[in-house]
Chain A
Amino acid sequence: DGGITQSPKYLFRKEGQNVTLSCEQNLNHDAMYWYRQDPGQGLRLIYYSQIVNDFQKGDIAEGYSVSREKKESFPLTVTSAQKNPTAFYLCASTGQEPGPQHFGDGTRLSIL
């Protein structure tokens, strides 16, 4: 079945550590997105990519980095510069416009 796979499901970060969240899709979608969701809040865009080797900052990119070396993959690194990383991270992709976004199951990141 086609879909978006995020891993790990749960992740713990030590202070000063960088961690990488994986997002893989087999939907052949061009556009991929990373969102952050805090408890009781909506989705806030971190980064998005519309094509391989290109990505754009979203509303809250500081302290995060991404790469898009393959169409299927869009990993997110939460760097030590992100002082409040505890949140639910969602990866999404979109096919041909104006289609909807499809979401992975999310990664819950916590501080140790």
Chain B
Amino acid sequence: QKEVEQNSGPLSVPEGAIASLNCTYSDRGSQSFFWYRQYSGKSPELIMFIYSNGDKEDGRFTAQLNKASQYVSLLIRDSQPSDSATYLCAVNDYGQNFVFGPGTRLSVLP
């Protein structure tokens, strides 16, 4: 059974701080990795995706992938109250099969 694990939180950070969200996965064959943001009562929206080891930056967001250690993380710089949401990590093995983690609730305090 392929598994994706995340700390359920809530993770609380003050406004302007860096929020660090982590995700580990069990399948070494995983090839692509995605971070989604989900506001309460809404559907997930794609934040970032990463396929290669290392860092990928997009605005205030940085995704980090370490395939050897089987973890992927999301850093949110200059966190804003509007970033308060649940962040879902998803992993894909090129077989069109996606496995989602349970999500981490982030709370950014004004």
Task: Please report A residues at the B interface, Cβ cutoff 8 Å.
Answer: 31, 33, 35, 41-43, 45, 48, 50, 88, 90, 94, 97-98, 100-106
Nearest chain B CB to A77 CB, angstrom units? 20
A104 to B44 CA separation, bound complex (whole angstroms): 9
CA distance A90 to B49 in the complex (A): 20
Contact partner of B31 among A43, A88, A98, A104, CB < 8 A? A98
Query: DSSP majority for the A interface?
Result: strand
Q: Which 5 A-B pairs have the closest CB atoms?
A: A42-B102, A98-B32, A103-B43, A43-B100, A106-B43
Does B57 sit at the interface, judged by CB under 8 A? Answer: no
Given contacts A42-B102, A97-B96, A98-B51, 10 further A-B contacts (CB under 8 A): A33-B98, A45-B98, A88-B41, A97-B94, A98-B32, A98-B94, A101-B46, A101-B90, A103-B43, A103-B44
Could you list 28 examples of A-B contacts with CB < 8 Å? A35-B100, A41-B102, A42-B100, A42-B102, A42-B103, A43-B88, A43-B100, A48-B97, A88-B41, A90-B43, A90-B44, A94-B96, A97-B96, A98-B32, A98-B92, A98-B94, A100-B32, A100-B49, A100-B90, A101-B34, A101-B98, A102-B46, A103-B43, A103-B44, A103-B45, A104-B43, A105-B43, A106-B42
The answer to whether B96 and A50 have CB atoms under 8 Å apart is yes
Binding site for A on B (CB under 8 A): 31-32, 34, 41-46, 49, 51, 88, 90, 92, 94, 96-98, 100-103
A/B pair count, beta carbons within 8 Å: 46
CA distance A35 to B45 in the complex (A): 15
Asked if residues B45 and A42 are in contact (CB atoms below 8 Å), the reply is no
